[in-house]
Structure 1
């Protein structure tokens, strides 16, 4: 399930209004309020963000599509999506006086979008493995047949990839075809693969498939196995039959202080407010609900004090027409939930914790050329 599929078209107009308004690029942290600073701009659909060595940040840019080939959208038969090699990885390096150097260190990754370039499918998440080598998940939002119809430049869609950084350029190679695995195994419902969240480990990686509604493990040889399946959940909302089946749409995975895996869900249609869960997963056991009551989770992370940060792409729900996102910090000892940087987030896409405890969030994550990275000190 892709962002274009799950977010109403009217949201784009609302987001553009927000983007066109004067932005508070920096606010002071007086009276205990967090400071929020824009440290990167002009990104194309920025999604996941990760902290590397020496404080460097890596940002996954899903791109903005391109000139084609174009095909009928697998999610909207009346629309076309076009392929381009506009996906990228941007590195941000601390500089003097609070400035950050911004450079695209990987270019030419496949990206699929409609003509306006918004809500692109492409590089969704990123994870440094060791200096000079990154893992990434590249989305698809469909089947291997849809991928094939876009031609050879689309071959990395639906994959876990490895990216080796060089002094001049980079090498990108496929590691595991998660879309083909979905087609062969199809744990829940229709065949639909959209690799999204990513966690690197010394033994391989874990990835969430937001289309396949599962958590996958990829070992160092590229072998794929299913760790957990997230079935549809019945919900009751106005104007729909009772116990309407809502898809899980897992978007993020991380490891907790206790060593278990934690997965956040966006939820699917009808996107009820407060219906998103954070699941705790021990491989070999069924997922259990760890925390509930969130809305449209797009990423999660634990800070160095063991508190859980939950990033919601929308605060008031996808169907609200409000593009305002929310970052919720949960104190797991007391259960207290605190919203950070309230009113500063527009369609946020990813969250990471710096070595000094700073919080980094990708903002305006579904827009081409308008994406940002925010530094939050709370």
Structure 2
């Protein structure tokens, strides 16, 4: 757990201040700007609004979009505690899943999910991803962002943080499919125990999950959890405010954020990169079970989500195009949806996005969640590819 004397903690607190500032901009931010290629004029269309800290999303074959909302924490003072960053956060049941039908109807179809957040609803941790399983069944991933032991004493609701839940459309009851945080506490393949499940991929009768806190990719199969890949630190230049000699490098954790399956059958994993969240240092890893991860694409910044289109092209969401610590404290990070190139320049498909996070693709349309750290002001946009 980070301490106040640590400059990395101060930088992280800067990030939390920044996320609080995002909540102030809300729907006043201008619409996303598209950069369609020749023959592909594109005007992004907002299909959902009023979301509480929206994160990853998925789109079904029929065109329904499901988005995970991290929620706004709780308002009962008895449910507040000191969070992993030393700030007061409150546990509540404001996490949710919203569905937007192909006809444009928006409604919350699962509620009463765990959520931790600051008193203003910012810096939320809760539902981080959702996978449609068919019919009314959903798999909902719940984040944590801390040492698993912080759940001790938080009751039944707190025990669902850091887990994969089975949910049903129209019902607020869920069932625990796997406890990712407990697995991290036991296996802990790298660094101190820390779990923040961030993305889920269903493959047949198993699930693949990225744990941004544990810096690994894990597999859930028939009630068993195992490690598929571990992502090592990289050395990056120390930011000037640390006061270190010029040229000093420090380790930055990988922070894997999303997993998708490629047309070749391999898994592709994005990374946010840890402190100091440097621009241009985020990679996309190719993972083949039984082998060490390899860098498939590089030169990206703070990537949070991935999606392949039907032609095999890979798209990525950059949460902050210039790096999370690059902008002023009182302004939100601005990110983009990019088409990834293995050896060249990544092409911006939609830019000027306010804290974008998740992406899902159906046909020639991409669906992107934005204002991902905004309580009440999160949105989903449809972008033509």
Report the TM-score, using the length of structure 2 for normalisation: 0.89
- Output the CA distance in 2 between the equivalents of 1:37 and 1:316: 25
Comparing 230-239 and 242-251, the one that deviates more = 230-239
Q: Helix, strand or coil for the counterpart of 2:105?
A: strand
Q: Helix, strand or coil for the counterpart of 1:342?
A: strand
- Output the CA distance in 2 between the equivalents of 1:296 and 1:279: 14
Whether 1:297 and 2:299 are equivalent positions in the alignment is no
Q: Which residue of 1 aligns with 2:63?
A: 55
- Output the CA distance in 1 between the equivalents of 2:66 and 2:373: 18
Q: Which residue of 1 aligns with 2:5?
A: none
Whether 1:269 and 2:271 are equivalent positions in the alignment is no
Change (3 A) 1:102 1:155: same
Over the aligned positions, Cα root-mean-square deviation in angstroms equals 2.3
CA contact (8 A) 1:353 1:359 kept: yes
Q: Which residue of 2 aligns with 1:184?
A: 186
Q: Helix, strand or coil for the counterpart of 2:18?
A: helix
Comparing 239-248 and 64-73, the one that deviates more = 239-248
Change (3 A) 1:28 1:336: closer
- Output the CA distance in 2 between the equivalents of 1:116 and 1:245: 33
CA contact (8 A) 1:27 1:37 kept: no
2:257 aligned to which of 229, 251, 258: 251
Q: Which residue of 1 aligns with 2:337?
A: 327
Provide, for residues 87-110 of structure 1, a one-character-per-residue CA deviation record: whole Å limited to 9, x for no partner: 011111022xxxx10011100000
Comparing 145-154 and 132-141, the one that deviates more = 145-154
Q: Which residue of 2 aligns with 1:153?
A: 157
Task: Tell me the CA shift for residue 137 of structure 1.
Answer: 1.3
Structure 2: tracts of 5 or more residues without a match: 3-10
Task: Tell me the CA shift for residue 6 of structure 1.
Answer: 7.7
Change (3 A) 1:33 1:200: same
| Superposition map of 1:133-152 within 5 A | 133-152=137-156
- Output the CA distance in 2 between the equivalents of 1:331 and 1:231: 23
Provide, for residues 42-101 of structure 1, a one-character-per-residue CA deviation record: whole Å limited to 9, x for no partner: 00010011012411111101101012411111222xx21100000011111022xxxx10
Q: Which residue of 1 aligns with 2:202?
A: 200
Number of aligned positions between the proteins: 365
Q: Which residue of 1 aligns with 2:224?
A: 223
CA contact (8 A) 1:246 1:269 kept: yes
Task: Tell me the CA shift for residue 36 of structure 1.
Answer: 0.5
- Output the CA distance in 2 between the equivalents of 1:238 and 1:251: 23
Q: Helix, strand or coil for the counterpart of 1:74?
A: coil
Task: Tell me the CA shift for residue 30 of structure 1.
Answer: 10
Task: Tell me the CA shift for residue 153 of structure 1.
Answer: 1.7
Whether 1:70 and 2:80 are equivalent positions in the alignment is yes
Q: Which residue of 1 aligns with 2:7?
A: none
CA contact (8 A) 1:34 1:341 kept: no
Provide, for residues 127-186 of structure 1, a one-character-per-residue CA deviation record: whole Å limited to 9, x for no partner: 112222111210111123211232222121010111123xx4253110111101111111
- Output the CA distance in 2 between the equivalents of 1:200 and 1:30: 32
Report the TM-score, using the length of structure 1 for normalisation: 0.90
CA contact (8 A) 1:53 1:131 kept: no
Q: Which residue of 2 aligns with 1:93?
A: 101
| Superposition map of 1:283-294 within 5 A | 283-294=289-300
- Output the CA distance in 2 between the equivalents of 1:11 and 1:244: 23
Task: Tell me the CA shift for residue 243 of structure 1.
Answer: 3.3
